[in-house]
Amino acid sequence: MILISDKQKGTVIENVLVELTNINVNGLQNDGVMEHDLRVFSYASVMAATDNFSIQNKLGEGGFGPVYKGTLESGQEIAVKTLSRCSGQGTFEFKNELILISELQHTNLVRLFGFCIHNEERMLIYENMPNKSLDYLLFGTDPTRGLLLDWKARFGIIEGIAQGLLYLHKYSRLRVIHRDLKASNILLDENMNPKISDFGMARAFVHNELEANTDRIVGTLGYMSPEYAMEGIFSPKSDVYSFGVLMLEIICGRKNSSFYNDDHVISIVGYAWELWKEGAGLELMDPTLGESCVRDQLLRCVHVSLLCVEENAVDRPTMSDVISMLTNEGVPLPIPTKPAFFTKRRVVGRGGVGGNDLELIISINGLSNSDLEGR
Cite the active site residues. 180
Measured between alpha carbons, how far is 288 from 151 in angstroms, rounded to an integer? 10
Q: Which residues pair with 66 in a beta bridge?
A: 61
Measured between alpha carbons, how far is 267 from 117 in angstroms, rounded to an integer? 41
Query: Strand 358-364 and strand 39-40: pairing?
Result: unpaired
Q: Which residues pair with 32 in a beta bridge?
A: 40
CA angle (66, 68, 72) in 5-degree steps = 150
HEC profile of the chain: CCCCCCCCHHHHHHHHHHHHHHCCHHHCCCCEECHHHCEECCHHHHHHHCCCCCHHHEEEECCCCEEEEEECCCCCEEEEEECCCCCCCCHHHHHHHHHHHHHCCCCCECCEEEEEEECCEEEEEEECCCCCEHHHHHHCCCCCHHHHCCHHHHHHHHHHHHHHHHHHHHHCCCEEECCCCCHHHEEECCCCCEEECCCCCCEEECCCCCCEECCCCCCCCCCCCHHHHHHCEECHHHHHHHHHHHHHHHHHCCCHHHHCCCCCCCCHHHHHHHHHHCCCHHHHCCHHHHHHCCHHHHHHHHHHHHHHCCCCHHHCCCHHHHHHHHHCCCCCCCCCCCCEEEEEEECCCCCCCCCCCEEEEEEECCCEEEECCCC
